[in-house]
Amino acid sequence: MEFLTILLSALLGIVSPVGFVVDRVAENAIRNQLADVEDLAVRIDNTPSYRLAQGRVDRVRIAGRGLYPTEDLRIAVLEIETDAIVLDAGSLRAGTPQLEAPLQAAVRLVLTEADINQTLQSEAVAQQLQGINLGALGGINAEPYDLVRPEINFLGNDRVQFQVTLQGQQSGEQNLITIESGLEIIAGRQLRLVDPSADINGSPLPTQLIDFFLLGINQQLDLGNLEASGITARVLKLEIVEDELSLASFVQVAPDANLNF
């Protein structure tokens, strides 16, 4: 979600009071917001062209392949097409572009299984999975655990499988947890794991532990988290096939949106 705000900030920055912004300048502005880019194309449509300097853009189209918001996160495909963008003239002159009217855009996103697993195996994720206390759950020792070797598998038919090993920090004991679940859209605003099944070393997992894992994941997949920043996002289509997840969504950014991340 943070990547979305970074990209929207870049969109506001491609219109400058200095003069006529060409597609290449806009492309460079977006590249500068990312850790790395394999392929990126930007097209700005406007007639007449001098309206760019007034903060008016008819449409912006972005097509990217292999975009890295961070060094450890790769987005296989990103396509964005905006409606008209209208910026406040005074904010342009001050060099701090602000929307005068809501910005609306259609977004298509593709993530691959391999790229997600590369992120899950990064040092940043590993640090967040250390020292988990599961002592209150039945059948689990009181010692703190690290979650190691997390891995996701796309099974097709909008189902995913997640595996992670619980490793005791004191005993070194290891337990393999496997969770399989469907993924559905709730009211367009939330991706939710549904009909989950789970086991630990092949035995059914306690209900409390399933809820422990799913609660955090479902909270992270709630697009309503963006609304406090003035961003409304709705998922229009979700499809999971083997090795790939694709998502189509609608995004609206309010003029007073907080994009300072």
The percentage of the chain sitting over the pLDDT mark of 70, rounded to a whole number, equals: 84
Q: How far apart, in whole angstroms, are the C-alpha atoms of residue 31 and residue 73?
A: 15
Average pLDDT, the chain: 82
Q: Would you say residue 197 has pLDDT above 90? A: no
Residue 205: alpha-carbon gap to chain centroid:
29
124-145 pLDDT, tens per residue?
888 888 877 765 555 556 678 8
The three-state secondary structure class of 45 is strand
Q: Would you say residue 259 has pLDDT above 70? A: no
Tell me the pTM: 0.81
Per-residue model confidence (pLDDT) at position 261: 41
Helix (H) or strand (E) holding 30: helix 23-31
Query: What is the sign, positive or negative, of the torsion defined by CA atoms of 39, 112, 249, 216?
Result: negative
List beta partners, residue 156.
159
Q: Would you say residue 198 has pLDDT above 60? A: yes
